[in-house]
Amino acid sequence: MTETSPPEDRYLVPGLVRGMRLLEKFTHNQQEWGSSELARVLELPRSTVFRLAHTLEKLKYLERHPQRKTYQLGNRVLNLGFEYLASQELLEVVRPFLNTLNEQTGCSVHLGVLDNREVVYLLRIAGRRHLASNVGVGTRFPAHATTMGRVLLSELSLPELQQLYEGTMLEQVTKQTANSVPELHRLLGKEQEQGYALSLSAFEAGVVSVGAGIRDASGKIIAAINITGPETVFDREALEGEIKDRVLEAAAAISKRLGHRG
């Protein structure tokens, strides 16, 4: 008596299955793929992989690098990730820590993630004693001009930053905002070394901020938190003292809950 294979699911769409398996090959350790490499690991004809990748590129689930002729995940995948994060574990983990940070300082606190060249706000808890942020969930700001954005950009190399900002100008929101990629890269290097980002009216006049990164189990920065307040209340000494320490403690505690052991 021979063993029979299970019947195929007649409702499965083979092309969609292949497309999803292609997307699954893009990971933290392998962020770019060429068509021939994908064809090899997926064991599919190159012509099939080309059509799949071309379709996913047109739908913005993939982006193609014109010089290297490789693909990386596109904004549509990130947007799906934001929807998941907004309704799942991350917010539930972060919220109590940000509530505590808000109570300790009386300032507005936020959670954000990176989408291309912008930071997207996922959570806001308004200040109770000081200037209340009017930033709503879903708000987007230029990443290079904000503390959360710079934290999220901090692990990028100079070539990666140049690629990210290729063909665009860095908006100089205030006189203190970095207005070139080399200047931004130098600032990010300094902030990465110290472990936090500091803003003294660099995004909005009279508003100061401290931001820090949230890491997952692999050690990658997946989100950022920050605290904002009026410059009239918090001088640089206060920001780089107790306020900074509170933000770093909250970021470390959240990261630990997400499996980071650094």
Q: Given this model, what pLDDT does residue 88 score?
A: 61
The first and second tokens of residue 47, run together, are 């012509």
Length of the chain: 262
Bridge partners (DSSP) of residue 110 are 124, 226
pLDDT at 233: 76
**Tokens read off for 240:** 């780089």
Predicted pLDDT at 131:
58
Give residue 33's pLDDT.
Answer: 95
pTM over 0.75: no
Q: What is the reported pLDDT for 185?
A: 94
CA angle 94-120-91, nearest 5°? Answer: 20
pLDDT at residue 214, as a whole number:
94
pLDDT value at residue 1: 41
Cβ atoms of residues 196 and 247 within 8 Å? yes
Please, what are the domains in the chain? 14-73 (1.10.10.10), 78-257 (3.30.450.40)
Q: Tell me the average confidence (pLDDT) per consecutive run of 10 residues in the chain, 262 residues long.
A: 54 91 88 94 95 93 88 81 63 91 89 90 80 72 92 92 87 82 92 90 80 90 90 78 91 89 75
